Structure 1
Amino acid sequence: MTTQAEQTLTMIREVCALGRVEFDRPHTAEGDPAAGRALVQGLHAIDEGGEPSDISLSLGLLAPRAPYFDQLVLDALAAGTRQIVNLGAGYDDRALRFRHPGVQFFDLDLPEVVADKALRLQALDTDITHVTLAAVDFATDDVAAVLARAGHDARQPTLFISEHLALFLQPSDVERLLAGVSTCAAKGSTLALTAEVHPAGLTSALVVSTVAEVMFAGAVLLQTIKTRDAWLGLFKKHGWQVENATEVTAVNHFELPMADKSVQIQTQFLTATTV
């Protein structure tokens, strides 16, 4: 039986998928700009009341986030990168829009999401030979081993993108994800991640518990929220150097009441290269 938390996470995943196709997105000459809308056909993003969720609420967050990661893919292709790994890909269509000769895309997500996406891809009238889907449970699986089985070449540079994933993983799983990715990241690889960031001076555990209480009736759905310095330290620990670490690229995600004040939780975009 699907739990309320699982239903909410499904809704969030589908809201993001439906929201992305509302934008005019770039594509390569060989890419399929129409495939994204076809890929999400039939998704409804049902909310807690059993009604389709209002995707317009997500557009403000997606407006800066989607182009940021799109540009990273375009930059990687221009630089000659031949492997793109999308961690927590959901129904993202970048593998279709950015199809490029000699480039393999690896889309990783939960088994049930991968199974549904596979059926949707097979139903499309478009080339999917360059797309490899791989099922993974980020709470238990070794990402490097999953990628190796999928055919990823750890000797070649890779662009790893993780958009809207880390906040739903426990802190220990985020750390294990970064460690796993680092073991299969050849020199010249890039890792880009959206990080939920709270102001300094607050305890991360208290922030997470307050989010659960205030926003999700006690359910801990957003599990990893850290200070920016903590995120930078985590990247460094696992061999990743964040580019322009003093420059913050972010979008305000939500305000959170903490004691006698309201604090802003941001989604910050961190891009790092192998050290």
Structure 2
Amino acid sequence: MTTRENPLLTMIREVCALGRVEFERPHTAEGDPDAGRALVRGLRALDPAGEPSDISLSLDLLAPRAPYFDQLVLAAIAAGVPQVVNLGAGYDDRALRFRHSGATFFDLDRPAVIADKVGRLEATGTDTSHAIPVGLDFRTDEVGEALARAGHDAARPTLFIAEHLALFLEPGDVLALMAGLSGRAAEGSTLALTAEVHPAGLDSDRVVAVVDQEMFGGCGPLHTVLDRDGWLALFAKTGWTVQGPDEVTAVDHFALPVAGQPVQIQTQFLTATV
């Protein structure tokens, strides 16, 4: 049984969707550059008090993040990678923006989100023959089984992208997700995700507890914040090798006091191969 979603997570998903359409972004020759705005029409991104959230707060984070994943998708298509799996896809329009006759997109998210997205696309008459919606709960469902049922071919290369997903899952669920993906990853596959990273020398559980209390009053949706070595170990444990492990691509996310000291949390972009 799927539990009710934290309203803060719903707001964050919608803020990101509304923020992405504020940027000039690339598209393929077959893609629809206007699909994003049609897809998010009517989204309000309400905070728990029922007030509209200020999407401008997300733009500094999205400015480097959206292009990073956009370029990965374009590079995969150019290289002939036949499958793109978008984990925590929400209302992201990459399956439409980067439509390509040689690639199949799989959009994975909570069943209610996927159902709403499918309804929106049907209402606009959008061609989704190349895009496969997959509803699942990342906390309880096995991603490999969900992909197999959806028709994903584990014998062919795949680009797996997880933009702004891992921080909302418990560490054990992140581990299960990455392990499940490695089991579906043929030679030539890539996994790219955003990771919330705290400085070395801090206890990760303590950092998460402080983030939860200071930012969300104890009811926040953020669960996984690790140091850089912790993330690299997680990739290695699940069969992935991070490209350029000593090269950090990141954007500062937020700062808060931990043990009386100011601590900067970064969103780092990590790309790995099997």
CA distance in structure 1 between the aligned counterparts of 2:52 and 2:139, rounded to whole angstroms? 29
Q: Tell me which residue corresponds to 2:231.
A: 231
- In the TM superposition, what is the alpha-carbon distance from 1:47 to its structure 2 partner? 1.3
In structure 2, the residue matched to 1:212 is 212
**CA positional deviation for 1:20:** 0.3
Give the equivalent residue in structure 2 for 1:81.
81
**Farther off after superposition, 107-116 or 218-227:** 218-227
Asked if 1 retains the 8 angstrom alpha-carbon contact of 2:156 and 2:186, the reply is yes
Is the 2:8–2:220 Cα contact (8 Å) retained in structure 1? no
1:40 alignment partner in structure 2: 40
Where 2:132 maps in the other structure, the secondary structure is strand
SS at match of 1:38: helix
Whole-angstrom CA distance in 2 between matches of 1:213 and 1:112:
28
User: Paired residue for 2:175?
Assistant: 175
Residue equivalent to 2:13: 13
How far off is 1:127 after superposition? Answer: 1.5
Q: Secondary structure at the match of 2:6?
A: helix
TM, length-normalised to structure 2: 0.97
**Partner of residue 265, structure 2:** 265
Listed as ranges, the matches of 1:44-193 within 5 Å are: 44-193=44-193
| Distance in 1 (alpha carbons) for counterparts of 2:196 and 2:170 | 12
Once residues 220 and 214 of structure 2 are traced to their aligned partners in structure 1, the CA distance between those partners, rounded to angstroms, is: 11
Q: CA deviation at 1:231?
A: 0.3
Q: For structure 1, which segment, 236-245 or 13-22, has the greater mean C-alpha deviation from structure 2 after superposition?
A: 236-245
Match of 1:203 in 2: 203
1:246 aligns with 2:251: no
Letter aligned with residue 103 of structure 1: A
Whole-angstrom distance in 2 between the partners of 1:137 and 1:48: 22
C-alpha offsets along residues 6-59 of structure 1, whole Å, 9 cap, x if unaligned? 111110000000000000010000000000000000000011332111100000
SS in 2 for 1:128: coil
Alpha-carbon distance between aligned partners in 2 of 1:195 and 1:6, rounded to the nearest angstrom: 20
After superposition, give the CA deviation of every residue in 1:44-92 in whole Å (9 maximum; x if it has no partner). 0011332111100000000000000000000000110010000000000
Question: For residue 30 of structure 1, what is the aligned residue in structure 2?
Answer: 30
Matched AA of 1:227? D
Contact 1:32 1:126 in 2 (8 A): no
Residue identity in the other structure for 1:156: R
The answer to whether the Cα contact below 8 Å between 1:103 and 1:130 also exists between their aligned partners in 2 is yes
Once the two structures are TM-superposed, the CA of residue 123 in structure 1 deviates from its matched residue by: 1.5
Structure 1 consecutive aligned stretches of length 4 or more whose deviation exceeds 3 Å:
none
- Quick check: 1:209–1:220 contact (8 Å CA) kept in 2? no
Secondary structure of 1:245 counterpart: coil
The residue number in structure 1 matching 2:221 is 221
Cα separation, 2, equivalents of 1:124 and 1:194: 31
CA RMSD of aligned residues (A): 1.1
Q: Which moved more, 1:248-257 or 1:217-226?
A: 217-226
How many Å separate the matches in 1 of 2:102 and 2:151?
14
Shift of 1:220: 4.1
* Superposed displacement of residue 271, structure 1: 0.2
Secondary structure of 2:28 counterpart: coil
Deviations 1:176-224 (A, max 9, x none): 0000000000011000000000000100000000011101111242100
Asked if structure 2 preserves the Cα contact closer than 8 Å seen for 1:28 and 1:99, the reply is: yes
Q: Runs of 5+ in structure 2 lacking a partner?
A: none
* Structure 1 length-normalised TM: 0.97
Q: Unpaired segments of 5 or more residues in structure 1?
A: none
Does structure 2 conserve the Cα–Cα contact (< 8 Å) formed by 1:35 and 1:124?
no
Check the 8 A contact 1:84/1:160 in 2, yes or no. yes
Q: Tell me how many residue pairs correspond in the alignment.
A: 272
Q: Is the 8 A contact 1:18 1:40 kept in 2?
A: yes
